[in-house]
Amino acid sequence: MTRKKALKWNGHEVFYQIFPETFAIGGGADIHSKAAKGFYPPDAILRAWNELPSGDTESREFWGGDLAGVAEKLDYIAGLGADTILLTSVFDSPSNHRYNARDYRKIAPGLGTLDDFDWLIDSAHAKGIKIVFDIVLNHFSSDHPWFREALADQNSKYRDYFRFHDGGYDCWQGHPSVPEWNLSNPAVRDELYRGKDSVLVFWLARGIDGIRLDCANDLGTGICGEICSIVKEFDPDVRVYGEVFPYAAPFAEVLDGVQSYFLTGAIDSYLLDEIGTGDFLRALGRVWNGFPSRKLFQSLTITGSHDIPRAMTRYGSDNERVMLAIALQFTLPGTPVIYYGEEAGMTGSYDPVNRTPMMWEKADAPEGFAGFYRKMAALREVRREWREGDLTVMSVDDGCALFFRSTDEPGEFSLVAVNPGHEKKAFRAHIPYPYLYDSIKLKDLLTGRELSTRMGYADIEIGGKEACIWVPEPDYIRNYHFYKKNELK
């Protein structure tokens, strides 16, 4: 096939993560019409779109979502303010999550074909939407033909592609159905990502804009760095992200960015009153001071994913706390990710109920968060300090988190306060910023309330379970400008 080019990244991105099996079915099909064509394993459990998973079926339940369904919803995704899609794994696999690949060069039949994948890329690019592709290079399916041969024949040339021992073989977190590759074997690395005909090159040539390395912590920083270098040689515009659950600064050093749950956990703990404001702000400081700033801006900031309970479940169906989490997600350093269905207020604990079918009838319901996501995405587009500004954390003793985002352009800043408690708070904040001139008027982007500064401080009032984002209104005095642009000639 003709090699395709990735789109350019501009730092304005908002991601939308999709679990393809349960997002949308394209072409007017349904699970039964697709099953009649033999698209699913013989032991598949077929579910109607409104059915919930049973939870004890080892990912053998299928609902019929596919790549055509994703392509048909591109305008919907763009309408939320997102311009980048993060696809979870789509490889041929016996499971509905496809993280145990049986054939790395084939799309799972229930999701479509390579032609469908190419059509999705082309359709997305035509609308300016990027596609980031989840690739699983640490482990695979025990149904993979190389593994089956190696298991049956100790003399197989593939035997040392895996790590066999007296107790069996290495497998991901002890699951025998998900063996791990022996990545110490150069031949394995050549097959997966180093060779000119590797799995990685096969997908890069199709025009994907980025890859997310699943279980990057299992791969290690050495292999992650090697993969990133190879990708850049192929196409410098392709981004490489790594999934790392804990604090991930060392991985950010060797990748373009990370998807870490460290910040997500800190936000949760703070908003649920499991840690104090000081601990939360110290966690923010560790992230800001520990990451290369550009890599931090490119890293993915999440409120939900297919691996953790949905935000509405974690926050006990408390809409106000969910909105606080979203406000922090968009105003803190990083690239925000909307997990499909979060905008509809969907609930669900751990896998599989956090991967249930998209509730399209609630996609834009007033009780959901679609409108708030649109608002925050539109603000991120025009607030450069959110996308690439410095972070200054300021401790507040009464439970409110306060931080400041600013660029090197005088007057380009946001003062962000979050109050997760039930009671209204009032306090004075001294802000170490040289362009917070006396009598500057600040306006809250969320409520419209205004305040004025004095001698580098602001007297702040914030309601219970409320977020405020104050930005300057520098030209409110007639014939006077706070931020002059005098030129030396």
Active site residues: 214, 243
Contact 270, 256 (CB under 8 A): no
Gap between the Cα atoms of 75 and 371, Å rounded? 16
Give the integer Cα–Cα distance in Å for 242 and 142.
24
Q: Which of 199, 8, 183 is CA-nearest to residue 89?
A: 199
Sequence-distant (6+) residues with CB within 8 A of 486 are none
Answer yes or no: are the C-beta atoms of 284 and 393 closer than 8 Å.
yes
* DSSP code, position 451: E
Please tell me the distance from the alpha carbon of residue 19 to that of residue 280, in angstroms, as a whole number.
Answer: 30
The tally of CA atoms less than 13 A away on the side-chain side of residue 288 is 17
H helices within 272-318, ranges in order? 277-290, 293-298, 311-314
Contact 214, 136 (CB under 8 A): yes
Closest CA to 93 of 47, 134, 51, 150: 134
Peptide bond into 20 cis (omega under 30): no
User: What are the structure tokens assigned to 264, written together?
Assistant: 């997500």
Distance CA 59, CA 380 (A): 37
Which among 258, 323, 336, 328 is positioned nearest to 294, based on CA atoms? 258
Let me know: does 410 contact 428? Beta carbons within 8 Å: no
